[in-house]
Amino acid sequence: MKNLIGYFTVSVALSGCIFVPKDVTYYDERCQVYAKKSTLESSNLLAFGSCGSDFSCGAALASAGLVSAASLVVSGSISLIENTVYWIEKEKDCLAEPKLKRLPTKEPKVQTHDPLDSISIKEGA
């Protein structure tokens, strides 16, 4: 039993694959500024060697899968928040025209048409 707990602890601490957010700087032609974006990078930390039994190999692989999925969710959330902040900063410093045009502040003149204006009534008919 101690061997199983040891394998589980080692595999959780050093899972096979984890995801890490990485910042990348690039030049945006439209805004004429250098901007950042966050990407996810995967790293393979541990290669599984020989196992004592089928059960210990299965437990090690299952725990490695859980750690990989958890690191993807956490790192993906961090990357999403960072990209939102970077996008706001880039749009603030952008020298180009905004992509979405603002609506005019003046109200347009509305022409109404009364259908009774086109009807002529003849007297004495």
Please report whether residue 8 resides in a domain.
yes
At residue 76, φ and ψ (nearest 5 deg) are -65, -40
- Residue 125 domain-assigned? no
Domain with 14 in it: 2-100
Position 39 scores a pLDDT of 95
Q: Is the residue at 80 inside a domain?
A: yes
Task: Report yes or no on 113 lying in a domain.
Answer: no
Whether 106 is covered by a domain: the verdict is: no
In a domain, 25, yes or no: yes
pLDDT averaged over consecutive 10-residue blocks of the chain (125 residues)?
54 66 93 93 70 68 80 94 94 77 63 64 62
Phi-psi region of 32 (alpha: psi -120 to 50; beta: other; left: phi over 0): left
**Tally of structural domains, the chain:** 1
